[in-house]
Every structure is written in C-alpha cells, then in structure tokens.
Amino acid sequence: MTDHDNPLLAPWEAALGLPPFTAIRPEHFAPAFAQALAAHRAEIDAIAANPAEPTFENTVAALDASGRLLTRVEAAFMNLTRADTSEALQAVEREMAPRLAAHHSAIALDVALFARLDAVHARREAMGLAPEALRLVERLHRDFVLAGARLPEAGRARQAAIDERLAVLYTCFSQNVLADEAGIRLALRDEADLAGLPAWLRAAARQAAEACGEDAMGVVTLSRSLVVPFLTFSSRRDLRERTFKAWVRRGGNDGARDNRPIAREILALRQEQARLHGCASYADFALVDRMAGTPGAVASLLDKVWGPAVAKAAGEREALAAMARSLGETHAIEPWDWRYYAEKVRAARYGLDDAALKPYFSLERMQAAAFDVAGRLFGITFRERPDIAAYHPDVRVYEVVEAGGRPVGVFLADHFARPSKRSGAWMSAWRWQSGGVLPVIANHNNFAKAPAGEPTLLSADDVRTLFHEFGHGLHGLLSQVRYERLSGTRVLRDFVELPSQLFEHWAFEPSVLARHARHHATGEPLPPAMAGALARARRFNQGFETVEYTACALVDMALHAAADPQGVDLDAFEAAELARIGMPREIVMRHRLPHFSHLFGGSGYAAGYYVYLWAEVLDADGFGAFTEAGDPFDAETAARLRRYVYSSGATLEPAQAFRAFRGRDPEVGAMLAKRGLVPEAEPA
C-alpha cells in the first residue's frame, strides 16, 4: 500500500480540510502508525541532537509543532474506536495501545530532549518571552516532569514499563464495558413487558430491537439512554429489578470480561508510579497538577456537600415511600424503585409529566437552541453541510463561521446510541486549533434514536447533557491560541468542566425555551404552565443525584489515597467505603467500580471524579455574572466569557482566567443553592 493509497497518510483534501471519512478502513491504521511514529521519532531526535544552544524556538516551539502526522492518525483512530468501533478496530487497538504508550513514554523520558527543555525552563524568566510562549514552556516542562523525566535511570525504565502496561489494561477495561453494554440486554416479548412505557420509549425500544437483530417488541440494552427511562416508567417491578441489577454489574461479572482483576492491577501500578515520584499515594501524585492541589482540598469540598445531600435524599425517600403506599404498595423502596416513584412524585407535586414534556424537546429543536445560544453569546453561526459524509450516516457535519463569514472550525454532531459506540457523552477533537489551523470538534451523545420518520425526543436530562457537551465543543471551537499544547480543552482537569457546565444554564432559560421548546408535531410553544413547573422542579430529586455522584467522588479519592491498594477486593472496598460514609441503602453509586471508565478506562479522571463538583462551584458562581448584569445574553459579560474562558485554552492559569471573567474568586454558596442544599434555596 502506497502513501497515496492510504487515506490516513495522503493529504486531506476533502471539503473543509476534513479527513476522507468514508475511505478509512481498519487495515489503514497499522501502516499509517508505522510511518507516523517513525516520522515523529525522527523529529524528536533532530530537536534533541541540535548542536545549537537551546532556545524557545529550536526546542519548545519545535517540540509543540512535532508529530503532527502522528497526531492526525491518532486522533482518527481514537475517535473511531470510541464512536464507531468494530472487531477489526478493536484488534488494532489492542495491538497499538502499548506501542503508542511506549512511543510517548520514550519521548517524555528522553534524557537529551529533556535537558534542552529544562535549560530553557531554567532561563525562561530572563528570555523576554511573550506570555503564551512562557506558558507553553511551563506546561511542557510540567508534562515531562510528571511523566518521569527527572527520575533516575532505573526509575525511568520502570515508568516506561508501567505506561505500556497501563495502556493495555485501559484498553481491555474499556472494551469489556462496551461488550457488556452491547451484549447484555432485556428483550420485551409482549404487551405485559411494555407495561407503563410511554409511546416514545416503546418506539426507542423497538428501534433498539431492530438494531440488535432481536425478534421482540422491544429491547432494553445497558445503555443509559434506555435503562434510565425504563427504570423511570416501567410498572413491571420484576423487570426493573432485573434490568437494574444487570446494569450495575457491568464489568463485574465472573468470566472473561471481568474488570475487577484489571482494575486491581491498574491501582497497584498507579501506586507504584506515585512512589517513583516520591508521593505517598496516587491521589497525592494526581493532584499535583490540578486546581485543588491536595486531597485535603478535595475532601473539604466533598464534605460540604455530602451531609446536606444525604439529609435531602432522606426527605426524598420518605416522599417516595408515601407515594408507594398511596398506590397500595407495601414493599420498601429499593434502588430499582427510586426513579419510578420519583417520577410519580414529580408529576403529583409539580404537575410535570415527562411523557407530556418530551414532545417539546425534539433533538432537532434542542440542537438548534444550542446553536442559537452560541450565536447570541459569541456571534457564531453553524451551517449544516449535508453534502459531506462523516464516519457514520447518523453524524451531521456543520461549518462554523463568525460574522462576515470568517471560518471558525468544523463541528460534528454524533448523537445516537449504537452497539459500536461506547456509552456516556463526550467531546473529542479530530484536529485541535493552533495558529492558523482550524479545529474539527465532535460531540458524542447516546440518545435513543427514534424509528425512521419519527423525531427523536429528549428528556430534560438529555437536553442538559446536549448543552453540557456542546459547552465542551465550544471550548474546542472558540480556542484562539498559537500553540497546540495550549489549545481548547487541554486545561487542568478541574477547570475543563467549567465551560460545559456553565453552558447548561442556558438550556432552560425562559427566553430560550420560548423560542425553541415547541411541539414537534404542532409547532405550539411549551405551555406557560409546563415551563413554570419545569422551573419549580429544577431542584427536585437533587438529594438523590448529588448522593449518587458524590459517593463516586468519595470512593474514587479513598481508593486512590490508599497506601497499599495491591490485591484490593473492589466489591468489598466499595461496600466498606459506602458503609463508612453512610451511603443510603436505596441509592447506588452512579458508576460502580467495575465499569467506572472515568477511573479505569484512562488516567484523566483517576483521583479526579470530584472535578465536576469543583467546576460546579465555578459555573454556578460564574453564571451569576449574567444574573447581576440583568441579561443572560449581556454582550459585555459574554465577551469576557469568550476571551478568558472559552478562547484562552491553557494560556492562563485557571484561577487567573476565572478571576478575569468574574472579577473575583468563586464562592461555594452559589453551587449549594443551585442544588437546593441550603434552606433558602428550597423551591417555593
């Protein structure tokens, strides 16, 4: 195969500079990686062996600019293995994961290369560098140090071995979770199995059955987009229990796909890595490069939330039990009952029926709402390009421009669940912005797709997820930096969720609902009574939601703060820690450890699941700037938001960026009020 025949290596000359999506095949990746890895290694060797004195340009800028072919191939590979994988791609993934890890580790541990970077870092203040260049020096130097560049020779060799092994384990963990989610399912055989399900959910289950090739009236896979609504509406308590137990056991079933031994080995290797760097635990090591800084700072935040959340959940549980009794039920509330009775309490208390609400939240209109908000805040426009085929027929391509037609980037919307796609929701980049290079950014959701010819209808939670991921997407699209390492979302982990969570605030703004929440069939606007009920119910069930999330963050920190996790029994540790913190019996962790991909599908959120709550302190207080301005689209506030949060990437320290936008440091009170965890924040 020649370079010209391999679409990963040939110039990308498709419209908007996109890759030739439909031409890429699994067999293209191995030869493309071979060439890209060799080219990057040659570039690194040239930088390291340069006889000239180390300068910013010949060392730091050169390092940032190196490996662009590898970055392109790797981005395509990572996007496809997560969003539209296959057995052939998974085989390549298992082969390439350790090779890629070894390559990146070898660069980070290259003695000659680091000596040059270290020399520039030592003289950085005296070099008269521009602020962004200075920031690049500091970020790259920190990257290398945390990757082991300062370790002695034996330590560097061990670090390289750990990196390589972890890459294998992360891949196995993720593939096991995907296999369980796609392979374990509940078939709905007759009308009795469909009892309680609204029409839109029946249609989604029927569509899932067709996608799975199942001869049934419907199928509930272990995708959250089907499981959660099934647990919410199914009046078949036996099926709710069966589905719930299968859902929470993902990755934790005995057999070839058991993730528990994989997670144990990951924990042991992380602890060894931490000790190589002189840290007592992996939590101490991971927090070195986070806003929180120490496990103590994380604990302080989580402690402020946990007690009030448990107390609020206790009140919610009593309301559910009362509802069950009113329906003639005598059983105790179990985890598979919570969502079912909560929906009934919500309907009775607020007159809010999710089945009646969803017709006003079609995916088409809510995507248009997100685009409209971005336009009103930041002056950008999304132009659909139906002439461009993406990597899957469901993916839609948009050209993003500013006033006057200046190009901003390309946005890919990949919204539907499918067996070849990992669960959850995320943003990714096919190409990062840097200098004059425009970004190609993708949003991935897992909404249950409606049958052909019918609109996909979203729940309020789905709408919030859509806006959340679009906030990440804007963070990538609006990036205005010179150097790729500082681009878009490549910021500290506990700052990366700020742009996404902040954007959620506009999802249910009255003016946004009035413009976009319209019945998919009639075009009628959301009735004022329903809009009012939605606003009054905004803190409903927040005890439950806060408990199931915060428990994950607490267990994550406890697990990674353990001095010796070698051989830990994951199920026993989880149970013991939940008992220690007083986890309500009726609620389970949002992600149990055997399928907790945030922790074990990679290192990004390990000892870091707390970051959503940390960022919520920032987003709740940050949105207050618009409230104080008296307009959710205040132009001056939006300009500051774009400049210091959405466009600055990692060119600023996160705390500095927030202060520049908000005018002061964040205060935790706004977050507690947003969740209804302080008395004065209770709905009227």
Residue 372, classified by CB atoms within 10 Å of its CB into exposed (0-12), middle (13-18) or buried (19+), is middle
List all residues 6 or more positions away from 384 whose beta carbon is below 8 Å from its beta carbon: 396, 397, 398
Dist. CA 167–CA 94, nearest whole Å: 9
Which residues, other chains included, contact 259 with Cβ-Cβ below 8 Å and sequence gap of 6+? 172, 173, 176, 177, 251, 252, 594, 595, 600
Largest CA-CA distance found in the chain, in angstroms, rounded? 83
How many CA atoms does the CB half-sphere of 194 hold within 13 Å?
Answer: 16
State in Å, rounded, how far the first CA of the chain is from the last one.
68
- 223 neighbors 446 (Cβ within 8 angstroms): yes
Run of H or E residues at 383: strand 380-384
Kindly name the residue from 43, 469, 497, 574 that is annotated as catalytic.
469
615/604 Cα distance (integer angstroms): 15
To the query of whether residue 616 is one of the catalytic residues in this protein, the response is no
Distances (CA, A) of 501 to 461, 507, 599: 13, 11, 20
Element (H, E) at 397: strand 396-402
**CA-based nearest residue to 675, from 311, 426, 353:** 311
Contact 70, 37 (CB under 8 A): yes
Q: Which distant-in-sequence residues (6+ apart) come within 8 Å of 49 by Cβ?
A: 112
| Interacting residues of 483 by C-beta distance below 8 A, sequence separation 6+ | 61, 64, 132, 133, 136, 434, 435
Which backbone phi and psi does 51 adopt, to 5 degrees?
-75, -15
Tokens of 613: 């709550």
The number of residues making up the chain comes to: 684
> Annotated active-site positions, please?
469
